[in-house]
Each structure stands twice: as C-alpha cells, then as structure tokens.
C-alpha cells in the first residue's frame, strides 16, 4: 500500500529535509514516526528537499507499507509521535505509480520580507528583515524579465546537482501588505538555492542599489559571481506541490491568515 502525506514544518531547528546521521532533520523525524505507527522500518520520499532553516506548509511525501490503518488513525498516530515543529496535515492512499517527487507538475514557494526600521522579536526566524525601504514595483518589473525558460546558472548554488541549469519560471509575483512583502515563485522544478538567489537580486533593485535591468543582465551572464548574495533561509516557505488531478490529493491552505 502506498500513502501520501501533506506535511508542515518549521525549519528553524532542522538541518534541512534530508536525513543526515547525528543531525536533526525533517526526514529523520518523520521516518521515526512512520516506522513506529507502521511497526516496521519505513523510508519516506518527499517532493523536494528544503535547506537548513527553510519551512514548508504543504510538503508532499509518500511511503510504502504493509500496515493496515484507517486514514484518521495514521494522522493521529503520526502527529502524536512527531515533535512540535512538524505535523501531518492529511493522509491519502495513492496508486503505486504516484511518486511525491517525479509525479509533481508544479512547485510553489513564497519568500517573506519584513520591511521596516525595527527588527521583529516574533518573526526573526520567519522572515528576512530588510530595514531599507523597498520599492516593490521595481522589484516586480525586474521579476518580469526573469519569467519563462532560461539558463539560470547565475542563480544556481555551486553545489547544485541538477543535470541542467535550464528551468522555466512560470510565476514571480511581488506583493506588499503594509510592512510585509511576499514574493511568490512557481515552476516545475528549481535549482539549488535558486529562489534565495533570486531574492538576492530583487532586493538590491528594490533598495535602489541596482537598476531594474540588472536582473536581466545577471541572468544573461550565466555567472553566479555576477549575482547578489544568497538571501537567508528563514524567509523561504515551500507552500504547495501540484499534481495531476488523477491523484485526487487534498488541497489545504498554506497561509489561511496572512494572505
């Protein structure tokens, strides 16, 4: 039997998603919980890896098991064995041809910026604090030039293992609400650190340190050294993973209050 899970986690105290010996990881904690409920050692597979400090609102995971449980019992059992900063939001049986990673057709991320003079004591591990005023309109103009299929080598981490730097960016939308800025990004797949490196270009443009066309110049250079810094991980959220309708996975709001 193959089950899919919708998983939410606060990445602040994790060394990323992927299991690492002697490190606290999301995959490690989830595998322990699944193995306890299934009464057998079980490996779980995710739609995508997240780095240290990065959060997820709707990470999708699958695993195979011979254990027979009601969906509600899986949900309650898993959450009772997970730490406070990880929870399972839904459990859904899927066909054997479902794969959390390879069946996905879209992945969505949101990057949150706190744009005000004073830092936040509450959101310091949830948003990137940028105290200089940001012009979200200029950021959007720059973002528009990055849409579509391109070689994103300039936004790729050195340790990226992707076979090709060619990616298609479907959405890159900048929205402000009071002193908060959200940048929503959508693509089928991403390079390592790609979203955080995009932010490292858009923010200097918003600050007025760089012209709007700098984003296009960086993209065309295909040179990581030409781009800006890698934005900090705490502002980044994996908000959703989209699959073909045939799998009938639940839809759960990632930001029911904020946006």
Domain boundaries, the chain: 2-102, 106-238
Say if residue 253's pLDDT is above 90: no
Q: Which of 10, 51, 117, 170 is catalytic?
A: 51
Which fold, 2-102?
A: Alpha-Beta Plaits (3.30.70)
What pLDDT is attached to residue 254? Answer: 65
Annotated active-site residue 51? The verdict is: yes
Q: Are 61 and 9 in contact (CB under 8 A)?
A: no
> Is 109 assigned a ligand-binding role in the annotation?
yes
Give residue-wise pLDDT tens across range 125-174. 999 999 999 999 999 999 999 999 999 999 999 888 889 999 999 999 99
Give residue-wise pLDDT tens across range 56-112. 999 999 999 999 999 999 999 999 999 999 999 999 999 999 999 999 999 999 999
Say if residue 257's pLDDT is above 80: no
d(C-alpha 84, C-alpha 194), whole Å:
29
Arch. (CATH architecture) of 106-238: 2-Layer Sandwich (3.30)
């Amino acid at each position: 039997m193959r089950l899919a899970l919708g998983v939410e986690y606060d990445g602040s105290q994790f060394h990323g998603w992927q299991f690492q010996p002697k490190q606290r990881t999301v995959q490690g904690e989830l595998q322990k919980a699944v193995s306890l409920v299934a009464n057998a050692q079980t490996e779980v597979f995710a739609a995508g890896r997240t780095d240290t400090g990065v959060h997820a609102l709707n990470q999708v995971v699958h695993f195979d098991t011979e254990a027979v449980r009601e969906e509600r019992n899986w949900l309650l059992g898993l959450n009772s064995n997970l730490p406070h900063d990880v929870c399972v939001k839904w459990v859904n049986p899927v066909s054997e041809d479902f794969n959390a990673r390879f069946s996905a057709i879209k992945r969505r991320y949101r990057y949150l910026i706190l744009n005000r003079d004073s830092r936040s004591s509450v959101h310091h591990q949830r948003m990137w604090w940028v105290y200089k005023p940001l012009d979200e309109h200029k950021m959007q103009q720059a973002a528009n030039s990055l849409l579509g299929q391109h070689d994103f080598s300039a936004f790729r981490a050195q340790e990226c293992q992707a076979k090709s730097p060619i990616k298609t960016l479907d959405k890159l939308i900048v929205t402000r609400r009071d002193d908060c800025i959200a940048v929503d990004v959508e693509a089928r797949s991403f390079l390592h650190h790609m979203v955080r490196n995009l932010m490292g270009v858009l923010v200097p443009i918003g600050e007025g340190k760089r012209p709007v066309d700098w984003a296009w110049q960086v993209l065309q250079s295909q040179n990581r050294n030409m781009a800006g810094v890698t934005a900090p991980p705490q502002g980044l959220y994996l908000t959703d993973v989209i699959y073909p309708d045939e799998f009938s996975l639940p839809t759960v709001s990632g930001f029911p209050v904020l946006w």
